[in-house]
Structures are given as structure tokens and as C-alpha cells.
Amino acid sequence: MQQARIQTRTLAELWFHTGTACNLECPFCLEGSRPGDSRLERMTLVDVRPFIEAAHALGVRQFSFTGGEPLIVKDIVNILVCALAVAPCLVLTNGTAPLIRRLQQLDRLKSQPHPLALRVSIDYPDAERHDAGRGWGNFRRALDGLTLLHQRGFHVSVTRQMTADEDVKGVAF
């Protein structure tokens, strides 16, 4: 992996794209991610550490991780330990099997110097529409993942799709 040069005096936020592999194959995915996809290799701590160190020198205030599905990356917990030593982190996740399998590993991240937040994709407020894009049963899995994260004390948020004719003021937050 070639290291980029950052030409700035300060840095508010640094986003990492963890790779294009995902456990789901959503037809609307901007990345076209899917199981086994390797167009962008899954990142490792060796790849990321120099960027975390450079960002730290620039006063970074947050790291964010997206993908594919960041929680399928083998080294993601070690990457997060490294990043959380420097600044708060946000992980975007579909909240399904990879998250649920890693809950105990994520628990150890609560003792790091900075907090970890997770943003779960729940596209629509009903299972039928959500599962039409993300696969049967994934609405329930995402809700289960969101619930488990909340019960464990993680800061959680939800990202969703908006329909063209949606009454924005009528959406309850």
C-alpha cells in the first residue's frame, strides 16, 4: 500500500475505507461491495498505523471507518485499539452477523482512551422494505445488533434511506 502525503496543518476527521468485502450484497451499494469482493483489499494495522500517526500529529479529532463491512476485516479490533488511543472513532456497519460475532471483542474497546460509536444501517422502518434491499432476515439482525450495542453501553446511531416523497418533518427521531 502506497502512503499518501497529507498537506495540511490540522485535520478534523480522517475516514478509512476498510475494503470492498461485505457479508451482504445490496443492489444499491455505492461501492458494489459483496461477499468475497477484493477490489480494495481489506486493510491491516500495518497499513493504517502510519496514517493514524500522521493524523495524530495534525490534531485529528475523529477517525471514521466504512467499507464494505468494516467488521469483517480481520484486523479491525487492533486497528480500532490503535485509533482509539488517539481520537474517538465511528464505525459504519450493517449491524448484522459480523457485528454480532464480534461483540465480545468490541467490549474491550470500551476501556480505550477515546469512545467508539457505531452507526447501523437500517434503511426503512419496516422489515419488508429493508430486507428487499439487504436480504431476508437482515432487518431483524440489524435491530438485534443495534439493541445489543445499546445494552452494552456503546454510543449508537442509525443511518437510513429517505424516500423521494417523504415528509421529513413527520419522521420521528
Mean pLDDT along residues 66-74 = 95
- 143 grid coordinates: 435491530
Sign of CA dihedral 31, 37, 40, 44: positive
The contacts of residue 95 (CB under 8 Å, 6+ apart) are 118, 120, 121, 122, 141, 142, 143, 144, 145, 146, 149
**Is the entire prediction scored with pTM above 0.85?**
yes
- State the pLDDT confidence band at 149, using cuts at 50, 70 and 90: very high
Q: Picking from 26-35, 37-46, 160-169, which range would have the lowest pLDDT averaged per residue?
A: 160-169
Q: What is the model's pLDDT at position 2?
A: 64
Q: What whole-number distance in Å separates Cα of residue 24 and Cα of residue 33?
A: 8
Q: What is the model's pLDDT at position 74?
A: 95
Please report how many Cα atoms fall inside a 13 Å half-sphere around the Cα of residue 6, on the Cβ side: 18
- 120 grid coordinates: 447501523
Q: What whole-number distance in Å separates Cα of residue 69 and Cα of residue 58?
A: 27
Give which of 155, 4, 23 is closest to 84, Cα–Cα.
155
Say if residue 159's pLDDT is above 70.
Answer: yes
Q: Over the stretch 82-119, which tens digit does the pLDDT of each residue have?
A: 999 999 999 999 999 999 999 999 999 999 999 999 99
Q: What is the model's pLDDT at position 170?
A: 65
